[in-house]
Each structure stands twice: as C-alpha cells, then as structure tokens.
Amino acid sequence: MSGFNLSALAVRERGITLFLIVALALSGAYAFFSLGRAEDPPFTVKTLTATAVWPGATAQEMQDLVADPLEKRVQELQWYDRVETLTRPGLALMMVTLRDNTPPAAVPEQFYQTRKKLYDTMPLLPKGVQGPFVNDEYSDVDFAVYALDGHGLPERLLVRQAETVRQRLLHVPGVRKVDIVGERPEQIFVNFSNARLVTLGISAQDVFAALQRQNAVTAAGSIDTHGPQVFVRLDGALDDLEKIRDIPIAAGGRAFKISDIATVERGYEDPPTYLVRHSGQQTLILNVVMQDHWNGLKLGQSLAAAEKTLGAGLPVGVTLTKIVDQAGIIHAAVGEFMLKFFVALAVVMVVSLVSLGWRVGIVVAAAVPLTLSIVMVIMLVTGRALDRITLGALIISLGLLVDDAIIAIEMMVVKLEEGYERTKAAAYAWSHTAAPMLAGTLVTIIGFTPVGFARSTAGEYAGNIFWIVGYALLTSWFVAVVFTPYLGVKLLPDIKRVDGAYEHIYATPNYRRFRRLVVWVVRRKFMVGGAVLALFLLAFIGMGSVRQQFFPSSDRPELLAEVQMPEGTSIETTTRVTARVEAWLKTQPEARIVTSYVGAGAPRFFLAYNPELPDPSFAKIVVLTPSAQDRDRLRDRMRQAVAQGMAPEARIRVTQFVFGPYTHFPVMFRVMGPDVDRVRDIAAQLGTIMRNNPHTRDVNTDWGERVPTAHFVLDQDDHGTEDIDENLQPPQGHAGGRSGFGAGPCDAAPPAIVLRPAATRKNPGKANKALVPIFPVMVLLTLIVLVFETRSISGMFMVFLTAPLGLIGTVPTLLIFHQPFGFNAILGLIGLSGILMRNTLILIGQIKVNQAAGLDPFHAVVEATVQRARPVILTALAAVLAFIPLTESVFWGSLAYTLIGGTAAGTGLILMFLPALYAIWYRIRPEDEETMVATGPT
C-alpha cells in the first residue's frame, strides 16, 4: 500500500496509540468478565405441538375426523416441512415442524399462523371435540429443575407448597417462568351403587342434575341504591365435602341426601396422565426457565442464594432438591474450555518468545492478548456469549494471530539492520506487506462463510465460528499494522546498522541449507508437482475410509433410559416396571440422582433434546452421574443387564445426549402410503433388514401394536351383550405424518409407498445442503480478493488451486487417530483452505517485492521462500501446539485433528510445493549452477 501509511501514523502519534492500547486492554478485561456464559449457543427449535381431545372416539376416528382436517390446514404454512400425528382413543397429538432453512426471525410468525389456522378449523370439527390446544413454547429450555418431595404429605398440600416456592423463584433476577410438573389434578369422587339407585327409584341422571344445579354459577342480579350498586350473591357453592353430601335429591315423593345413596371422597386424577418419580417416590417438579440473553452463571448464583431461604420456609418433612443444575454444567464446560484457551494462549506466546528472542518475542506475543481484548469488546457489543462455539473459534484463531505480527516485526528488524530510521523501519511493513496480509486474512475469513450464512439449524448452531474467526483475524491484521510497529519502536533494542544485513539474517548455515533445498525443488518442479498431485489423489481416495459422523455424542454426565411398554399398557403398569428399573439403578455406584418421568418425556433441560409426547406406555429415566466416564460405564453395564432380562416385558433403550440438532434415533426411516396394511408390511421388511445388520440394535417401529377391544352391541330388546371381536382391532395408537416435500418411491416399495430416511442421513444432508448455496458466493468473493491482489487472472487461479491441498495432511491424521469426518471436520477443512491460500498470497506478494528490488524471477522465488520460512514455521508450530488441547474435546476433537494434520502438511506444501508450483505456472527456468548465491533484495 502506497500513499497513506497507517503504521507511520501510529508511530508518529505515540500518545494516541498508547492511549488506545491501554483503553482497549482495559475494555477487553471488562468485556471478558461481563460476557454471558453458556454451555452451548442457542438455536431456534422449529417445532410446536398441538393436542385435540374427543372423549369416546376411536383412534381411527381421531385420525380421520380430527387430525386429518388439522393437518391439511397446517400444510398451508409458508415454511412447512412436515407434521407427525399420533392418535389414540379420544386423543390426537400433532408435532408440526418447519423446514430446516426457515429463518429464525420468521419462526414466531409461522407459529402464530399455525395457531390461527388450527383455531380457524375448530368449527369444522365434530361436536364434542376439545381443542386443538397449541403449545408454541415447546422449545423452552429449563435452566434448573427442582424436585419437591413430601415424604407422606398429602399431594394437595404439597402442591400448595410448590406454588409458594414457584412464586418465590419468579422473583429471582433472570427467571422468566417456573412450571410445576407432575401435579395430579385434585378431584372429588361421588361413588354410588346402581343397584341401590334402582331400589330407591333414583336414576343416575337425577344425581348428575342435582350436582349441576347446586354448583351452577348464575348471575343473581343487583340492587340499585343512591350509593354503591349492591350485587346479590347466591351462597352454597360446592367448596366442601359436607356440602356435597348434604345436597338434596327428590325421587318418588321422598327426599334424600347424596350421603344417603353415595359416598363422597376427595382424590386425584385417576388414572393419572403424567407422573414424576424421584428417589423411588412420586414427587413434584419445578422447571425454571431463564430469561433470554441472561448470564447463566449469574442466574446460578442467584438461585443458589435463593435456595438457602426456600428450604427454611418448608414444613418439616418437605425437601427441595435440585436435580438439574445448568449453572454447574456451564461453569464446568466454560471452565474446561477457558483452561484449554489459556494453555493455547501460553503456548503461542512461549513459541514467540523462545524462537524470536526476548525483546522481539515480547512484541509479537503482546499482539495476542491485545487482539483478544478487542475481540472481547466486539463480542460484548454484538451480544455474543462465551460458549462451546465461540471459545472453540477463539482457540482456532489463536494459531493464526501471530503470523501478521511476525511478518511486521521481522521486516522492521531487517530494515533497522539495513540502517533505516526506527519510524521508517516500522512503517515499511505497511507499504510492502499490509496488502498481501489483508488479502490473505480476507481469504481465510471467506473460507468460513458457508457456516456463517448457512440457513440451517446446524449452521445457526455453529455460525459464530465465522464471526469470531473473522473478528479475530481482522483485528490481528489491524494490531499488526498499527500497534505492533509502535511496540517495536518502543521495545526493540538499539539495532546497529550491519553491512550486508540481508546476508546477516538469511545467510546462516540453517538458511543456506534450506536455500539449497528450495533451489533443488524449483529445479525439479515437475517431479515435485507430480508427487504432490499423487499424494492429493491418494488422500482423496483415502477419504472413503474415514469414519463419517454428523455431530458427536455429548460429554454431559446424564444417562438416559427409555422404558417403552407395549401400546395400550396402562400408566400404572408402566410405573411398576419403571420402579423395577429404578431399583436396579439405586444399587449402582455411578447413579447419583435418579428421576423418572412416566407418561411422557422429561422436560427440555438440554437444548438438543425434544421431549417425547404423552404416552401412558412410555417412561423416561434420567440418571445423573459424576462424570462422562462414569456415565459410559453405567451405560454399558445397564445395556448388559437389559439384555439379561432386567424387564423383559418392556423395550429399554439406554443412551446419552448428542451435540447439535436433535434426532431421537441415530438411524430412522419413514414409511408413508395410503394402504395401512401395505405400510406395515414394508416397515416389517425394513425392520428385518436392519436387524440383520450387525451394527444396529433396538430396531423398532413407532406405530403401536394391535390391541384387543371390547365391543358392546345393543339390541332392540334392550339386552346388552359383550364380546371381543375375533379379529384384533386397529391399533389404539395411530401414527401418521404429512411431509412437505415429494420424493419418488424406493425400489423395494410399491408405487404408492414412499420410503425416505428420517435421521442421520437426512440431518447431515440438510446441514451440508444448506452449505451448498453459499459455496458459489464464497468462491466468487475469494476470486475477487485474489484477482485484486495478484492483478492477474492466471495468478488468481494458481492461488485458488492450492485451496484443497489440506486433504494431504488431514486424511492420514484422521485415519491414524481414528477420528470421524463430520460437520466440525468440514469446518476445519474449509478454514484450512483459506489458510493455504493466505500463505500463497503472502508468498506471491514477497516474490513481487523481490522482483521490484531487482532480483530475477528465479532468485525472487527462492529468496521469497527463504524469507517466509521462519514466519510460516513459527505460525504452524504455534497453531499445532494451540490445537493440541482441543484434541481432548469431545466436540472439537475431529476439527482439531483436521487442523493439526492440515497445518503440518500445509507448512511443507508452502515451503516446498508452492515454489515449484509458481515456477511451473510462470515458466521460470533455474539459473546456472554457479549463479546460485545467497543474494537478497538490494
């Protein structure tokens, strides 16, 4: 860059520059402690649920007369993807899912439209249908979950205590809402004998009418006075058992009381629809939801302070236990990453100090914390938090932050030895390398563009990688051209002019040996180019042997066990089987807290988890273990116990959470068609194929089994007969779905049957498909930067061809360390392509500087490679060492190995292959042997 010189301005205005350094450093420290903390970044759950009730209807009637009209209206949504419906006698449960590429800002409007369309359909539903009831807060994540145990206290009194605790928790700063779960609605039962009623000449309708009349809420009018209006109230509402027992009933000229013909007692919903068990006893659960954008660690501290007073106000025998503590998980997760982050930071700074010397190293090392301080301020201003994604992105950036500073300070040292005045030497980097460094920085950032702008749930989850890496690299360039020259002027020792300064630096024995190697490479450029091409083809072929994965399993300590009884099983039976599983878990040393949810799934206390819909034959057991290692040991032991017959009447699945968007099973297929029997047959055939695969277990279908049904047939003589149909009835659980995208029938299915993957293959396909539209934009932006920097279409294509060469180091590394290639590894490979193009650009820029200084093309290539050797090796060493702490991370491991292998191989490619490629591309011929001397730019 010529003309305006930002480096010279920073050195000249030293007071302003020093103020900015101090102010930004202090602001960064403040921002670091003010930033929110979270385990994972938020992403939009594009699902809502709807429920409709029609007492007395069969599952088929619920499907045909209730669910079908509702499904058709939902299909009119702009971003509609699919609706999954489960019908049981008298009940329809719908789960509406929007397309994966739905903009997060459009989701609330789509939920509103869904509610509106469903409510508009209510008049068209059969008489007696209640609902649909829409839950568009299905995505709420519970920050903390408390169990309130009564230990013998009547449940209705325990509910009163739960309400008191709820009100007090709502006053804690940061709490948005508190839900009470597991409450059985209180009911009053009037039990009478039909035989006794007949004897007394009283019909059951007489009893119902008497209760209705007494409990009716009717306006009694008011009295107008010259003063206030006086309302007339009718006392006698049924708010006490004795009042119900004393209700009069007249029949056959005689008067009775309810207590004469029936017993009146207080009870609870029977059968219950949802039960929660903690430590083997029925309990109530309070789910605490945090306000949006609140600091999770601060809320955890506030809740901990509130818990000290909450327990003191409870009656004797009532205990409040925290069974989910998101604050503790955030503290552990962020603390682990902060440790890895500071280790990586220390590694980068030590590499700089050791390799460059104390005075020069301190200037380079100072660029890292200064860059991070500015990034922290930007994160605070833009509303981002420290979570798994942003911290990982910062660690990724650490290995790249010192390159620009090394180039700038090394150039300054060389110019000081050549006799330049300190200010002029400090400004030299701006005029000769600022443009190539900026172009390389932009190319690296553009490489992460697909994940930053991908319209998918996975892109939304990992999108901050683009922004954080972009902030960090742009800031590092700014620091290198503004603050590093100033620090160099202030901190570098007095460097005396050295005759032959270039030779003094680049004619040492090590540099001479390296120069001879570069000359050999350029002389045998076609052989080197062919070898690299062969290695690339081998790596490309070897990619087929790398294990594939979407997102890895989570390292959270919870173990999940699903108890699925046969369809139609009562909740009481499911509870008894669940209690047996709990009893086994209590004997295991790894199980600290065991909580069971019978009749539906657990609350959403982890974002990447969708609670299961209500089902009396289903139970979810959540076991809290001390660590992920303990969780895995307990998981394996429990699977073995299940295989040995822990509860043979149930299907028990033991698993753990998975990072990223939720899928219930790792592999799922959806079979769709109008012929129910044919759909069942195809599903059974598919199930057989899957069971024969040695890599699968727990193969099942979500369509309920057929169950017997009793039919009462009334004849004209008013005699009732009871019989069980000889043919088993249609399933009492009817599962169906409508999808918003068409797909051709598979080869194994008839034309009317559609078979498509529902998970694993589909979710990575969605994530990768969302990246595809951004790739052309990424390529175009990259080419624009390259052509402006190289000023040559030929040079632009040469630089672009180096982008995929990272595979040469990535594939062997993944194979050697048995790492999967998934979404995170793809991100690493994309970023690696930008790093390679960046280094190519800077090398080309150095070649042009050397040619402008009078070197012939051959010597310009050789000397540029020699000049770039130390920055490239130091940057690679810092990057590889900075990525090593990430290899132990469950989430970032594959990405770390991708970058380690790619960076190590990329270093060799930059120093060995790029000179050969440049010589091939521009037809550079080597000089005669006797001219091969170490001569630098004049």
**Concatenated DSSP letters for 145-171?**
EEEEE-TT--HHHHHHHHHHHHHHHHT
Per-residue model confidence (pLDDT) at position 31: 92
Per-residue model confidence (pLDDT) at position 387: 82
Q: What is the pLDDT of residues 158-215, one digit of tens each?
A: 888 889 889 999 999 988 889 888 888 888 888 877 777 777 777 777 777 777 777 6
Looking at the predicted structure, is the pLDDT value of residue 109 above 60? yes
Domain definitions of the chain by residue range: 1-34+357-506, 46-138, 508-551+758-928, 558-656
Six-digit token pair at 110?
């789509």
Backbone angles phi and psi of 175, in degrees to 5? -90, 125
Sign of the dihedral defined by the CA atoms of residues 520, 524, 529, 531, in that order: negative
DSSP result, 99-138: -TT--GGGHHHHHHHHHHHHHHTGGGSPTT-EEEEEETTT
Per-residue model confidence (pLDDT) at position 399: 66
Radius of gyration, CA atoms only, the chain: 36
- Average the pLDDT over each of 109-113, 223-227, 689-693 and give the range with the smallest value: 223-227
Looking at the predicted structure, is the pLDDT value of residue 457 above 50? yes
Output the average pLDDT for the chain.
Answer: 81
Residues 6+ apart with CB under 8 A from 322: 144, 145, 146, 147, 307
This prediction's pTM: 0.75
Backbone angles phi and psi of 821, in degrees to 5? -110, 105
Band of residue 157 on the pLDDT scale cut at 50, 70, 90: confident
Q: What angle do CA 607, 612, 618 make, to 5 degrees?
A: 140
Using alpha carbons, list the distances in angstroms from residue 895 to 135, 400, 540.
38, 15, 18
Residues 6+ apart with CB under 8 A from 267: 186, 187, 188, 189
Please state the rounded mean pLDDT for residues 839-854: 83
Q: HSE on the CB side for 634, CA within 13 Å?
A: 28
Please state the rounded mean pLDDT for residues 371-386: 90
Residues 6+ apart with CB under 8 A from 412: 425, 426, 428, 429, 485, 488, 492
Rounded Cα gap, residues 277 and 579, in angstroms: 9
Amino acid at 362: I
Output 379-384 pairs: Cβ under 8 A, ≥24 positions apart: 379/31, 379/35, 379/468, 379/471, 380/31, 380/34, 380/35, 382/467, 383/293, 384/35, 384/464, 384/467, 384/468
Per-residue model confidence (pLDDT) at position 537: 92
Quick one: which H or E segment has residue 209? helix 204-215
Rounded Cα gap, residues 650 and 620, in angstroms: 13
Looking at the predicted structure, is the pLDDT value of residue 760 above 60? no
Q: What is the pLDDT of residues 585-629, one digit of tens each?
A: 999 999 988 999 998 888 888 777 878 888 888 999 999 898 888
Band of residue 836 on the pLDDT scale cut at 50, 70, 90: confident
Highest mean pLDDT among 22-36, 427-441, 499-513: 22-36
Q: What is the CATH number of domain 558-656?
A: 3.30.70.1430
Rounded Cα gap, residues 602 and 591, in angstroms: 17
Domains 46-138 and 508-551+758-928 in one fold: no
Q: Report domain 508-551+758-928's class.
A: mainly alpha
% residues pLDDT > 70 (the chain): 88
Looking at the predicted structure, is the pLDDT value of residue 45 above 90? no
DSSP result, 658-706: BSSS--SSSS-EEEE-S-HHHHHHHHHHHHHHHHTSTT------SSPPP
Per-residue model confidence (pLDDT) at position 908: 82
Let me know: does 652 contact 637? Beta carbons within 8 Å. no
- List residues bridging with 714 in a β-sheet: 720
DSSP state of 90: T
Q: What angle do CA 624, 630, 631 make, to 5 degrees?
A: 55
- Exposed/middle/buried for residue 795 (C-beta within 10 Å: 0-12, 13-18, 19+): buried
Sort strands 593-598 and 618-624 into parallel, antiparallel or unpaired.
Answer: antiparallel
Band of residue 499 on the pLDDT scale cut at 50, 70, 90: low
Rounded Cα gap, residues 728 and 725, in angstroms: 7
Six-digit token pair at 659?
């990072």
Looking at the predicted structure, is the pLDDT value of residue 762 above 60? no
Let me know: does 906 contact 805? Beta carbons within 8 Å. yes
Higher pLDDT: 714 or 526? It is: 526
Per-residue model confidence (pLDDT) at position 707: 63
Amino acid at 743: A
Q: HSE on the CB side for 905, CA within 13 Å?
A: 25
Residues 6+ apart with CB under 8 A from 142: 179, 287, 288, 289, 324, 326, 603, 604, 605
- List residues bridging with 597 in a β-sheet: 276, 620
Does residue 764 have a cis peptide bond before it, meaning omega lies within 30 degrees of 0?
no
Other C-beta atoms within 10 Å of 314: how many?
16
Let me know: does 329 contact 39? Beta carbons within 8 Å. yes
- Exposed/middle/buried for residue 755 (C-beta within 10 Å: 0-12, 13-18, 19+): buried
Rounded Cα gap, residues 515 and 306, in angstroms: 69
**Residue 86, helix vs strand vs coil:** strand
Sign of the dihedral defined by the CA atoms of residues 17, 22, 25, 30, in that order: negative
Please state the rounded mean pLDDT for residues 905-927: 84
Using alpha carbons, list the distances in angstroms from residue 639 to 204, 627, 645, 847.
53, 18, 10, 63
Higher pLDDT: 654 or 716? It is: 654
Other C-beta atoms within 10 Å of 546: how many?
20
Rounded Cα gap, residues 510 and 872, in angstroms: 15
Six-digit token pair at 511?
């540099």
Let me know: does 918 contact 924? Beta carbons within 8 Å. yes
Rounded Cα gap, residues 602 and 605, in angstroms: 8
Six-digit token pair at 838?
């960046």
Residues 6+ apart with CB under 8 A from 167: none
Rounded Cα gap, residues 540 and 543, in angstroms: 5
- Exposed/middle/buried for residue 73 (C-beta within 10 Å: 0-12, 13-18, 19+): middle
Beta-strand ranges (E) seen in 579-666 are 593-598, 618-624, 651-655
Per-residue model confidence (pLDDT) at position 756: 52
Q: What is the pLDDT of residues 706-759, one digit of tens each?
A: 666 666 665 555 544 443 343 344 444 444 544 443 333 344 444 445 555 554
Higher pLDDT: 219 or 935? It is: 219
Please state the rounded mean pLDDT for residues 510-530: 89
Per-residue model confidence (pLDDT) at position 711: 61
Looking at the predicted structure, is the pLDDT value of residue 509 above 80? yes
Q: Report domain 1-34+357-506's class.
A: mainly alpha
Band of residue 25 on the pLDDT scale cut at 50, 70, 90: very high
% residues pLDDT > 90 (the chain): 12
Rounded Cα gap, residues 393 and 272, in angstroms: 48
Per-residue model confidence (pLDDT) at position 766: 59
- Average the pLDDT over each of 448-457, 466-475, 846-855 and give the range with the smallest value: 448-457
Q: Does domain 46-138 have CATH number 3.30.70.1430?
A: yes
The crossing angle, in degrees rounded to 10, of helices 464-491 and 358-381 is 140
Looking at the predicted structure, is the pLDDT value of residue 860 above 80? yes
Other C-beta atoms within 10 Å of 33: how many?
7
Please state the rounded mean pLDDT for residues 470-493: 88
Higher pLDDT: 483 or 3? It is: 483
Let me know: does 617 contact 569? Beta carbons within 8 Å. yes
Per-residue model confidence (pLDDT) at position 150: 82
Rounded Cα gap, residues 121 and 131, in angstroms: 10
Sign of the dihedral defined by the CA atoms of residues 538, 543, 547, 551, in that order: positive
Per-residue model confidence (pLDDT) at position 22: 93
